[in-house]
Every structure is written in structure tokens, then in C-alpha cells.
Structure 1
Amino acid sequence: MDDIHTHLPPSHDVHTPPPPSKRTQHEPDVSESRLLDESTSNRRNPRAGLPPSDQTEIARERWVLKWLRSPYIDPSRPMKMMEVNRKYNAFVNDPNLLFRYIGIDVSVSQSFFRELEDLMEWLGIEHVDAYLNLLCKRKNDPMEKKQFKGKVAVVDCTFFVIVPCFVGGSHWVFSVVHLHNWNITIYDSNAHLQPNNPKHRQEQVLPLRRLFPLICKKSGYYDDSKRKKQGLTCMKAVRLAPYQFPCQVDGSSCGAFMLKGIEYVMMGKELNFDFVQQDIPAFRKQAARDIFANSIEIE
């Protein structure tokens, strides 16, 4: 009987939890440290986990939600693009001649999209107009229309105008007309070919430099008394240096560089042109599908 009792476990192993392990004086328990962290975080931010009460924070979250709803950021875009790719490939590879309306009063066939994807083909005026029309749709966020519901509305002001230019009969550039300081900036993907002769492009956009002041006057742009009156003198033009705008290395990508540059300027990223020649094939391929996704089939 004594032998049986000697082999039984201690009574506290059966009815009570094991004794706490020994730890140093400065080593807190895991549960204690978790409670300590929570109490510390609550002291730092008493409203942790609650909706923000500060008006600035509320406005910031509204802006974040607004841009998350914009066409530039769409969580379901990958699934949509799979369906677009399927329909696009079926349309382009169809042996029958088919047409689609692309939103610029022009109907195009499969050749329009093949040329847009072909790296050896120049972009025509229809390609440029179609993609710029798409960029304008993306820029006109429906959320902007809600700004007039309150008593105070902060609206965008026109400080610059983007103008695509086909110069010399063989090259695409784009100009940004700055209305606040009355000059024109020329973005040229072939600037590296004539780095020391910027006047060549300045002379090619001379019609724009002379015509734009007249357009502003005739359109009533300066009817607002707060705008500085400008005369009808020719506007100054500056071509960006080769290191300020990406340069093409082939003879057919000027249109793609122009469209990509315009997109960056519209998004406010004109100080960070981070695309290069190697990005152009993917851009042209994506541009073709984006235009297709925003077109309508013609029966």
C-alpha cells in the first residue's frame, strides 16, 4: 500500500495548476505585459479604435476614401481585366471586319488596336485622341460633383493647359501652357538628339505661342478681374532638358512617350517621370485594352 502511494503524483498536480515558474524581479508576466501595452496605448491615444473626432482627421479620411473610389484605384480591376482580355482577343482575332465606337465620333476596326500594340507603328491622331479622351474620363471623378452640396466649395482652378503637338510632320511632343506665368513648357522625348538646340522645338510650336493669347482673350478668360491681364504678345517657350523627361531610343515611340507624359502631368507627377523605353510595350498593350474596355460595339 505504501508502494502505491509513493508512485502517485503530488496532489497539486491533479487538483491545482502547477506552481508559477520563477522569473526575475524585472521580468513581467506575458499577460501583465499585454495589459501594460494596452493601457499605454490607450493613454497615448484615448480614442484608439473609435471614429476620429478631429475635423482635420475626418477630412483626411474622406480624401483617402475618395481616391480609393477613383478609377485609378479599383480593387476588382484584375478580375475585370481578365474579362476585358478575353473579349479583346476575340475581337482582334475575329476574321470578320468589326467596328467599335471609341467615344471621339470615330468608329474603328481591329487594325486600330493592332497598330496601337505594334511597336513598329507610329501612333495616329485617332490613337492620341482616344487615349486622351479616356484620361479625361478618369480625371472627372464623380465624387467631385458632391463638393457643391455644402455652403463652401473649394474648386479646381485652371492654371495650365496640356496641348499635344505633331511637329515636323513626323514627331509627337506635348506642351504645357502655364497661364499663371504666361509661358509654355515643351516635353520632347527626342531632346537628347539636339541637347544644345532647344530653339528648334520652340520655333516648331510658334503657332501655339502666337495663337494661345488670342484664344484666352476671345474666350473671356481674363474677364475675371482677379486674373492678371496679358497682352497678345507671343508666349515664351522652354524645352525641357534631356535629363528632365524620358528619352526614346527608337524611331516609333514618340507618341507613346507623349501620352505617358501627359498622364503623369495630369496626375501631378511631372517631377517624377520614372518610365523608360522598356515600359512602352506594356503601356501600348494596356492602352489598347483600356480603350477597348471603354468602347461600344457597332452592330
Structure 2
Amino acid sequence: MAFPKQVRLVEMSPRDGLQNEPGPVIATAIKTGLIDRLADCGLTHIEAASFVSPKWVPQMGDAAEVMAGIHRKPGVCYSALTPNLKGFENALAAGVDEVAVFGAASESFTRKNINCSIAESLERFAPVVEAARNHGIPVRGYVSTVMGCPYEGDIAPAKVAEVARALYDMGCHEISLGDTIGVGTPLKAKRMLDAVAAHVPVEKLAAHFHDTYGQALANLYAVLEDGVAVIDASVAGLGGCPYAKGASGNVATEDVLYLLNGLGINTGVDLNKLVATGHWICQQLGRHNGSKVGQALGGNCQ
């Protein structure tokens, strides 16, 4: 299959990127500033917040304030993670455009992460999806550990397909396939995608690949070849997974955009503005810029 002519980048940094930042809680104004800058880069889909208990994820405790503080840009979808009905109700009140539920293809990871089985996790999501449907809010489904688990090792592609199909059948309009600990390789990625695409149309799938072993861009190239046209990424490579030991974080949006530009694939995103945004957020957080492209184009703040 040929490469897609257009790819939609889903920007994860305000949620997946910031939720695990150590130290004091990041100021709301920094979060809203990041989201507004990302929208100005041309990104049309930004995961802005997570409506979870502040007890478990302190960095996301101001989700409602963040949603109230952003300058909403027409044509931009501002989404939020909503693991349960209460989270959905809070997100709805805050005016999110889309919500997301977060499952996994590993039983052990699901137990460690949300303290239940995969089947139980899907049961928990059903009322969220139903409530969202009743309010005309689209739901995105995440499947994590699609190419490996910190507790179980390799994950069978058939298991990934089973969970992805369950979320799709439940009513999720898009399924994001997450290599949570970044252990995938291009062949693994293709085999996993083949298994999932037999049950969920490829145009309904997104790739969410972490870069722990430096394989994310190669893995993305592999699934782009097979028709995936939605990619999750995080500016400056912000983020990781608190339950996945050694997971160094998301693939950097700047690096993905540079790859897509080189392939002649349209995204509508301005690379120079994106690099400047990565540089800005790293300065705010006092951290290293994880983007190779950001560093090459002067976006390294250390």
C-alpha cells in the first residue's frame, strides 16, 4: 500500500507529556500556554487534559481550569482522557470536544494500571461511551502495550486485535495503538497492525509509539506504508509511562513532522513554530529537549 497523502498528528504533550513530570505541579498558565502555542502551529487535534483523580495524577488536577483557560481555535479538537463516568461528566461540563478511554492488551499491565482485568476494564468503559454517544461527543479508544509489556514481555497480535475490536464495537470512532514501553520494531509493528486491521478498518487506527529503544520513527514508517494516517506524538518528546519501567517517553512531534515532510506527506503543521514551542516548554519545565530535530534546529534548552 502507498503512503497516505495526508496525516493527522494528535498532540499528546499537554496530557501524556505533562502528567508524569516530577516535582511541583505545573502552573495552569504553562499548560494553557502550551496548548495555545500548539494550536498556533497548525495542530488540529490536541489532547489537553485528563479528568482523573488528582490523588493518582496530581499534574492533571486542574483539568477544568485548563479547559476554561485555553483560547479555543476554530477547527481544533480539544480532547481529554476520561477513565470513568465521573471523569466524563466533568469533561462534558468543561466543554471538551472528544473524550478518550484507555485500555491495554496485557492483563498484568491492566491490573497494575487500573486494578482490574481487561474484561472488567471494557465493562467500565461501556457507560462512558454510552453517555458520550447520548451527548454527541466522539470517543477515542487507546490500547496500550500493543508490542510488549513490562510484566509479560511480548504481547500476541491477536490479543491486541481482540481489545481493539471490542473498543471499536463499543462505539470508539478511532483506536490508538500504543507501544507503551517502546520495545517494538518495524516487523513487530506490521504484524500487530495486520492482526488489528483484520478486525478494525485501518483508517480508524492511530499509531502511538514510544521511543525507548529509538525505534519509534522506523515503526511509524512501517505502519505508514500500510495505510495508517493518524499519529500520536508529543512535542519535545515529553512524557512516559509511570507504570512502565524504563519507558523514556513519546516520540517527539518535531521528529515525526520532519519525517512526514521528507516523505511529501501533508500535515498542515509548521515545523519552525513547532520547534519553537518545544524549546519554550522545555525552558518552562527546566528540562532537556528530547527532540532530535528540536536540538538540530536550536531547540535544545540545555
Smaller-chain TM-score bracket: under 0.3
What TM-score, normalized to structure 2?
A: 0.22
The TM-score normalised by the length of structure 1 is: 0.23
Larger radius of gyration: 1
